[in-house]
């Protein structure tokens, strides 16, 4: 961490005295199951929350979360710290898994049904949030509300619903190229607003 590092707000990090997720993941890569149990405590909440958000089904979300967490154990040796934080790595795996699940053939019907009851303007109202979510949620909500409606709706539908950008375009009745661009410029604004570096 740089000399001014302690001045920065980094909600992704564990409390100062506990080992960081990166350090835990390094130990997990060496086969340390105790370190994995500690890493579980840091990441399981966001992983399950994300899976629940994307799948809208508690049983399936728990199944996916369990698969993701075991994959984190299995692939820990493949984590490259230079490419991003451990939490981002875990949540990238989680999002991909959840999305793969909703895009599989048997999920198509579920998904059409989900589309009928989603409300993209109020993405945070129906979850039992954890303390961790509470810390981040207010800031994320503020930053999301600073986006244009099209940027926000595109990002929410893509990330929380697992839609491809052409599917988002069909829902919002705009051109796919427009959604592609709005996802990118919206995320860049969100990145700057949240102060994300990697």
Partner 1 sequence: MTAELHMLTGAHALDAVSDVDRAEFERHLGQCAPCRQEVAELRATGARLAVAVAVDPPPDLKPRVLADVARTRQLPPKVPPVRRLGRAKTWQLRAALFGAAAAAVVAVILGVATTPAPVDPVLGAPDASAIQGVGRGHATLVVSRSRNQAVLLASDLPVLDADHVYQVWLIGTGGARSAGLMAPEASQRMLLAELPADIDRIGITVEPAGGSPGPTTPAVSMISLT
Binders in 12-71 for partner 1, by CB under 8 A: 12, 29, 31, 33, 36-37, 40, 44-50, 52-53, 62, 65-66, 69-70
Select the residue interacting with partner 1 from 118, 120, 132, 174 (CB under 8 A).
132
Both tokens of 47, joined, read: 């992983």
Site string for partner 1, 98-127 (x = CB under 8 A): -xx---x------------------xx--x
Total residues contacting partner 1 by CB under 8 A comes to: 79
Which residues, in sequence order, are CB contacts of 97 under 8 Å at separation 6+?
Answer: 51, 64, 67, 68, 71
Contact present, 147 and 186 (Cβ < 8 Å):
yes
Q: Residue 10's CB: how many other CB atoms inside 10 A?
A: 13
Name the strand (E) or helix (H) holding 94.
helix 86-103
Does 75 sit near partner 1 (CB under 8 A)? Answer: yes
The number of helix segments (H) and strand segments (E) in the chain equals 9, 0
Q: Which residue has the tokens 């009745």?
A: 173
Site for partner 1 in 156-195 (CB under 8 A): 158-160, 162-166, 168, 177, 179-181, 183-188, 190-191, 194
Report DSSP state, residue 190: H
Select the residue interacting with partner 1 from 137, 146, 150, 174 (CB under 8 A).
137
CB of 17 to partner 1, least distance (A): 21
């Amino acid at each position: 961490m740089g000399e001014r590092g302690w001045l920065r707000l980094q909600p992704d990090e564990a409390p100062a005295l506990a080992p960081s997720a990166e350090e835990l993941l390094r130990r997990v890569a060496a086969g340390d199951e105790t370190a994995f149990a500690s890493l579980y405590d840091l990441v399981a909440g966001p992983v399950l929350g994300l899976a629940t958000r994307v799948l809208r089904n508690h049983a399936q979300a728990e199944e996916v979360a369990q698969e993701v967490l075991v994959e984190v154990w299995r692939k820990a040796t493949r984590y490259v710290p230079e490419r991003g934080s451990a939490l981002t790595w875990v949540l990238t795996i989680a999002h991909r898994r959840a999305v793969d699940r909703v895009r599989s053939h048997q999920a198509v019907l579920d998904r059409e049904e989900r589309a009928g009851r989603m409300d993209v303007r109020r993405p945070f109202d129906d979850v039992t949030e954890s303390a961790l979510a509470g810390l981040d949620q207010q800031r994320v909500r503020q930053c999301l509300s600073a986006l244009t409606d099209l940027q926000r709706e595109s990002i929410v539908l893509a990330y929380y619903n697992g839609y491809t950008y052409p599917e988002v375009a069909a829902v919002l009745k705009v051109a796919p190229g427009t959604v592609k661009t709005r996802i990118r410029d919206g995320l860049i604004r969100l990145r700057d607003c949240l102060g994300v570096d990697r």
